[in-house]
Structure 1
Amino acid sequence: MRYSFLVFLLLCTSAIGQYNPTKTINYKKADSIALAHSGQSLRNLPLLTHELTVNLKTDIEKFRAIYTWVCTNIENDYHSYLKTRKKRRKMEKDREAFLAWNSSFTPKVFERLVEEKKTACTGYAYLINEMANLAGFKSKIINGYGRTPTLLLDAENPPNHSWNAIQLEDKWYLCDATWSAGRILLDDDGPRFEQKYDDVYFLADPVLFIKNHFPLEKELSLLDETPTLEEFIEGPVMYKEAFSNEVIPHLPKKMHVEVAKNEIITFDFIVPENFDTKSLHIDLNNRGRDIMVEPSIKFLQGNIVRLEYKFERTGLYDTHIKIGEDLVATYVVRVHRK
């Protein structure tokens, strides 16, 4: 077991820096196959996996069919999540005990998943891993911290999320089927799952993925340098629209920023080739008052766009960076007197 894990780490390390975006690949056939098998039982997983992949040529297309099927056929169960979170909290001080429990717990999760097609993130990651293995791919369940706009963390929080690494055509990628499947809505009638498939977490760029996914085993970030947990927690809030627009928050490194009145503050983002800056703007919220401002924008070397803005009044500002109507990142800026 230890040997196989070391081999996995070596493979991950060798793949660092080899990430290639797959947006040029046409997934229409893979997605249509997944749709054609909608509602199929999980009781014969080898047969389902075969039917999803047999008529596809490339490894990436085959895994896409698996991923799309899982995300569009499995319901995120909030009650399962709460039970898992409670257990995780009991073991938050003992990482080895947590990993051992999680390993023994996933098969039990899978039993319920087969019966009801409902699960929490552990079940999504386990199912992706099982189907990927059946299709002949190397895969890994990753446990760690998921950070969302409504779920902020501190250093005392236990691990709260699971996702996958997958090797396709000699390269390792990251994906999160739980977050691709939809979202949990908490309303007056209690929690309910809204299924809304979004492939932004499918084979995502590790540099962007690390902004809201922190693995317990840092090597599984697929990065040369992984930030510390403290740096991860202190970073800006990031939204899934950052993935769909392929923009990566670069500076400031921390969500909470202080600046003097009439001093220029800068926000740097790594952007894709041929990025159009016209739709970039900042929305400020101060004491419940919303203000849209147009920052000065310039391109720097290395595909970095810099937004510059001068706060002329003191106060505390929720500073939302937007591309058109898409909210991509939030900072909290405290403006003080000189």
Structure 2
Amino acid sequence: MRNLVVLFTLLFSITSFAQRADFQEIDFTKADSIAHYYKNASLKNLPVLTHNLTASLKTDVEKFRAIYTWVSSNIANDYSSYLKISSKRKRLAKDREAFLDWNSSITPKVFKSLLEDRKTACTGYAYLVKEMANLAGFNCDIIDGYGRTPNLLLKEDSAPNHSWNRVQINDKWYLCDATWSAGETIVVNGSPFFQQDYFDGYFLADAELFSKNHFPIQKEGSQPIKKENLDAFIAGPVIYKEAFLAPIIPIAPVAMHNNIQKGASVTFTLKVPKEFTGNTQLLLNKGGSQKNGNPNIIKKEGKISLVQNFEKKGLYDVHISIKNQLIATYVIKVK
């Protein structure tokens, strides 16, 4: 019951955000083409660059799309800067006021480096999106908080480690993450290498799904973070970026780690678009050996449930796959 109450609290906090489905009729081809045309344009005069990206576009969402696509496609992720910022965040994690003061002071410094080197950490991506969106007439804010990825799982004492944006379009607020849209950092022979690869799933993302791997910290003067909410966020399943394309939202189990008795079943439930069609599978990994599960699949409008029985003891990594793309991972301990 406690987990359900916490989950309700988290969902209630993001109901004020809309999602990209509001703009199904919009073709972003022109906006993306303009962003590509101005590839490698100078950052030294942001008003001019913003005007060039948006002036010929008719709708507000297309204008913001051109800005977002340009930022995500032209700025490299600076891994060394990320490590320095993460280290500082960790040192100040227990001093909220000091953290907020430092976080505000570092943003202009990060932006100056961004202008000179065209690379940055998440703070720089969020700051650049905000500055250009504001120049184009949008209300756009930076949101600081916690980000979870398959390669970046959090602990109870983890410090805030990520920044993203909210933007107001047609009187509604939307969420986006230009850092995670830009590509990924790959470590090769011990050296980090940023691979630019635009990913569309974090543009005006589904708010409920977004909350599965983004947890905001409160601004100065607002109520402090409730520990049970943060704990529930940290304990959630691993969500892969491919889930954002549909979107596909894992809603049960609530937690990643689950203990059951031998012979019991676990129901894995996904919220899917009403028109969704796709081959849904469970992959069961036990001791490094992986095989396909044999769940009973129950389909209803907007929801898919996979009921998997576990007949043998052991520790299972359970991966949910749709169209051969990983969506989520759970850990099931069978006693």
Give TM-score, length-normalised by structure 2.
Answer: 0.91
In structure 1, distance between residues paired with 2:129 and 2:177: 9
AA paired with 1:293?
A: G
Q: Does 1:64 align with 2:65?
A: yes
Please report the RMSD computed on the Cα atoms of aligned residues, expressed in angstroms: 2.0
Spell out structure 1 runs of 4+ moving beyond 6 A. 12-15
CA displacement, residues 292-324 of structure 1 (integer Å, 9 cap, x when unaligned): 123111134x72211101111110000000002
The within-5 A match list for 1:26-105 is: 26-105=27-106
The within-5 A match list for 1:160-199 is: 160-199=161-200
C-alpha distance 227-195 of structure 1, shift in aligned 2 (>3 A): farther
Residue of structure 1 equivalent to 2:256: 255
Residue of structure 2 equivalent to 1:307: 306
C-alpha distance 101-17 of structure 1, shift in aligned 2 (>3 A): closer
In structure 2, distance between residues paired with 1:283 and 1:155: 28
The within-5 A match list for 1:224-303 is: 228-277=229-278, 279-300=279-300, 303=302
Matched residues, percent identical? 54
Query: Aligned pairs, how many?
Result: 317
Q: CA deviation at 1:89?
A: 1.0
In structure 2, distance between residues paired with 1:239 and 1:84: 24
Residue aligned with 1:211, SS: helix
In structure 2, distance between residues paired with 1:24 and 1:250: 28
C-alpha distance 81-14 of structure 1, shift in aligned 2 (>3 A): closer
In structure 1, distance between residues paired with 2:218 and 2:326: 30
Which segment is superposed worse, 314-323 or 94-103? Answer: 94-103
Q: CA deviation at 1:227?
A: 7.6
Q: Is the 8 A contact 1:236 1:254 kept in 2?
A: yes
Q: Is the 8 A contact 1:15 1:171 kept in 2?
A: no
Residue aligned with 2:109, SS: helix
AA paired with 1:243?
A: F
Is there any run of 5+ residues in structure 1 with no aligned partner, and where? 1-11, 219-224
In structure 2, distance between residues paired with 1:155 and 1:164: 24
C-alpha distance 186-315 of structure 1, shift in aligned 2 (>3 A): same
Residue aligned with 2:212, SS: coil
Which segment is superposed worse, 235-244 or 259-268? Answer: 259-268
Residue of structure 2 equivalent to 1:25: 26
Q: CA deviation at 1:161?
A: 0.2
CA displacement, residues 131-170 of structure 1 (integer Å, 9 cap, x when unaligned): 0000000011000000000111011011000000000111
Residue of structure 2 equivalent to 1:7: none
CA displacement, residues 107-130 of structure 1 (integer Å, 9 cap, x when unaligned): 111111001101000000000000
CA displacement, residues 29-65 of structure 1 (integer Å, 9 cap, x when unaligned): 0000000000100000000000000000111000000
Residue of structure 1 equivalent to 2:136: 135
Q: Is the 8 A contact 2:34 2:53 kept in 1?
A: yes
Q: CA deviation at 1:189?
A: 5.0
CA displacement, residues 235-267 of structure 1 (integer Å, 9 cap, x when unaligned): 000000111131101011000011222212101
AA paired with 1:328?
A: I
Q: Is the 8 A contact 1:260 1:335 kept in 2?
A: yes
In structure 2, distance between residues paired with 1:79 and 1:253: 34
In structure 2, distance between residues paired with 1:239 and 1:290: 19
Q: CA deviation at 1:23?
A: 3.9
Residue aligned with 1:254, SS: coil
Give TM-score, length-normalised by structure 1.
Answer: 0.90
Q: CA deviation at 1:226?
A: 12
Q: CA deviation at 1:19?
A: 4.1
In structure 1, distance between residues paired with 2:159 and 2:216: 12
Q: CA deviation at 1:97?
A: 1.4
Q: Is the 8 A contact 1:148 1:238 kept in 2?
A: yes
Residue of structure 1 equivalent to 2:7: none
Residue aligned with 1:316, SS: strand
Q: Is the 8 A contact 2:20 2:205 kept in 1?
A: no
